[in-house]
Amino acid sequence: MSIQKILVVDDDAYFLKEVLLPSIPNILKKYLNSEIESIIFASDGKEGWELYQKEHPDFVFTDFDMPYLNGKELLAKIYTHSIRPKGSILISNSDEIKLETPTVFLDKNEVFAIYFSSLREKIG
């Protein structure tokens, strides 16, 4: 699967910058055997929806717990849009979330595990 542009939506600036962003290439290789060309960011669900409509990214990573629109609500809006993404990943600490969209659920602990694994590889 070729992914040109990714939209990443998360209101936790530290997690986004320090953990998720460095992990995205490894997550995509692990789950989709794919690489990316560009990443765009939104800090909440409302901004994510606005960017989605403007940019039409190929793939969406979103946190669940965010202001204005949570990740589930954001994905519901995205998947009713006339231009749908190739895929999406919802990141959360809860595995109790029921989704009506073709979305992969990724536990936040798995993101940390991928992040620390890539750090160990770099350190040697």
Q: What is the CATH number of the domain that holds 31?
A: 3.40.50.2300
Q: How many domains does the chain have?
A: 1
pLDDT at residue 95, rounded to an integer: 58
Q: Record the pTM.
A: 0.78
Domain holding 34, by residue range, is 5-123
pLDDT of residue 48: 95
In the predicted model, residues of the chain with pLDDT beneath 70 are: 1-2, 93-109, 112, 115, 119, 124
What's the distance, CA 29 to chain centroid? Answer: 14
**Residues counted in the chain:** 124
Decide if 24 contacts 6 (C-beta within 8 A).
yes
Other beta carbons less than 10 A from residue 84's beta carbon: 14
